[in-house]
Structures are given as C-alpha cells and as structure tokens.
Amino acid sequence: LRAKRQGKNHACFVAEHEVDLFGREQQAQRMRQALHAGELALYYQPKIDARTRCPVGAEALLRWQHPERGLLTPGDFLPQLQGTALECEIDWHVLEQGTAQLGRWAREGRELGLSINLSAATLLHPQLAARVTQLVRQHQVPPGRLELEVLETAALSDLAAVVAAMEACAHAGVCFALDDFGTGYSSLHYLRQLPVKSLKIDQGFVRRMLTDEGDMHIVRAVVGLAGAFGVRTVAEGVETRPHAQALAEIGCDLLQGYWIARPMPAAALERWMSGPVEA
C-alpha cells in the first residue's frame, strides 16, 4: 500500500496496482488530447548506403512537443500506453502522417524510402493490411518505398498470424524489417518463414563492437545470416566514423545513427538530403 493522495485532513491509501491504473488512465487521457491538439510530430533520421554513403531513406520517429515539458521522445510516453487502445491509435496516426510525407516526397521526385515503427498490437491488428493498403493508395506511395519496423520480439508472438499480416501488406508493396535484432530469440526456423526485407542490428551490439570481441562476433554473424537469407542489414546507433568503416568492411548494407545525422523534422531532412554528405 502507498499513499495516493495526501489531502489536507486525510490520506487515501490504495493498492499499488490501482495507483498504476489511475496514472495510466490519466496518462492516456492526456495523450489523447495531445493527439487531437497536434502535439505529436514525426522526426526523420536518415539511413545511408554503407559503401557509397548515399542517403537511401529515413526512419520516422515519434516526438511529443509537450507545451510544458518540451520535446519528449517515445521512451517518455510510449511504455505507459502499452496494452491500451491508444497504442494502436497512435500507430494509425503515425502511419497516416508517414505515408502522406512519403507520397509528397515521391511526387517531388525524391527516391526515398521510409520506415515506420509498429507496436506488436498493431502488427496483429486485423485491420492492419486494409489500412496500410488504403493509405498507400490514397497517398500514391510507389511500391517498395514503405517499410514497417517491428521488434524482433513482437514478430515471435504468433508466427502464423505474423506471416499472414506481413504477406497481406506485401500485396500493397509494403515490406518489413525486424528491429533491435539480436535482442530476441529468433530461431533460424522463424527467420526463414518471416517475409522480411531487413534486419536492424540492435544498437547495443553496434556500440560495443569495436571494444568487445563478443559483440563484433554477433554483428558479423547477423550480417552473414542475413546474406544467407537474402535479407539486407541495417546498423542502428552508428556514432563514430570507425564504426561506419568497420560495418562497411563487414558487409553491412545500410547505416543509421548520430554520426550520420540525428532525427530531425521533415524540412530539415530535405535540406540535409540536398546538402553535401560528409565522407
């Protein structure tokens, strides 16, 4: 038990889980407001080809421009929404905003791909393929430009259902990436059945690969495995030039991280894309 609220003359004691529920409900309410007030925005972080260093696309990352607390990242607000209806509502919102942006880029002649993160709940939502198909048509997104990132751990929940969802989206020209790869427990059996285009090597392995031999082995193994399955690799959390060089030598396909660029608003990304690329 813990004090939930200490009024002037009384203290109200409730069980710990009730405090959580109360806090969660309040948080969800505030988040719903934010969604309707337009406080949620997408930032875009570029991905480059590891060999040529040319930009090939971006990942959309959610930000909350909070009127009092400033710019918040998903770690500040997404975990509290897990298991609530808002989790999917926010993913639908991001899908809508992201495909609209992708459609504009395509019409401007920019050959950029965009990755959008989905929660496990959205991946298994019965409406996913229908909504994605509708958005891709509505915003005239060329086939192959939209990629959906799902956590490796999310893809392991129900193999048959996940494969079906991914294949239904593939009909609309949408592909999938396994995010934070290496942190879950994917068996090769699973990997072989999932129709994914990319494996995103978790940033923990990337960060430590030059100082910890074990992490270097893991990065090499993931790149080798991806090659054998005909899947491309994306390294996340590339923070230094030596990391970028080592990853290119190992044969990793794409790089993403602060060394290349931080996540930024769409207009800034467009300027970044047309500016000189640091080599």
Contact positions vs ligand C2E (CB under 6 A) = 45, 61-62, 73-75, 78, 91, 94, 117-119, 149, 179-180, 203, 236-239, 257-258, 263
Task: Indicate the residue among 22 and 98 with the shorter CB distance to Mg ion.
Answer: 98
DSSP assignment string, 178-189: EEEETSS---HH
Cross-strand pairs, 232? 198
Binds 94: which of Mg ion, ligand C2E, none (CB < 5-8 Å by kind): ligand C2E
Total length of the chain:
279
Binds 233: which of Mg ion, ligand C2E, none (CB < 5-8 Å by kind): none
Q: Does 91 bind Mg ion (CB under 5 A)?
A: no
Element (H, E) at 29: helix 16-37
- In 3D space, the residue among 124, 64, 71, 70 whose CA is nearest the CA of residue 94 turns out to be 64
Q: Does 149 bind Mg ion (CB under 5 A)?
A: yes
Binds 61: which of ligand C2E, Mg ion, none (CB < 5-8 Å by kind): ligand C2E
Task: Indicate the residue among 14 and 204 with the shorter CB distance to Mg ion.
Answer: 204
Which segment (80-88, 101-109, 232-240, 257-265) binds Mg ion by CB under 5 A? 232-240
CB of 78 to ligand C2E, least distance (A): 6
CA distance 122 to 129: 10
Binds 152: which of Mg ion, ligand C2E, none (CB < 5-8 Å by kind): none
H helix runs in 38-84, sequence order: 74-77
Binds 258: which of Mg ion, ligand C2E, none (CB < 5-8 Å by kind): ligand C2E
Q: Which residues are CB-contacts of 103 (< 8 A; sequence separation ≥ 6)?
A: 138, 139, 140, 141
Task: Indicate the residue among 215 and 236 with the shorter CB distance to Mg ion.
Answer: 236
User: At which residue do the structure tokens 């467009």 appear?
Assistant: 270
CB of 62 to ligand C2E, least distance (A): 4
Element (H, E) at 177: strand 175-181
CA distance 247 to 15: 50
Kindly tell me which residue out of 117, 119, 122, 186 binds Mg ion, with binding defined by CB under 5 A: 117
How far CA 113 is from CA of 99, 101, 247, in Å, comes to 10, 11, 21
Residues that bind Mg ion (CB under 5 A): 117, 149, 179-180, 236
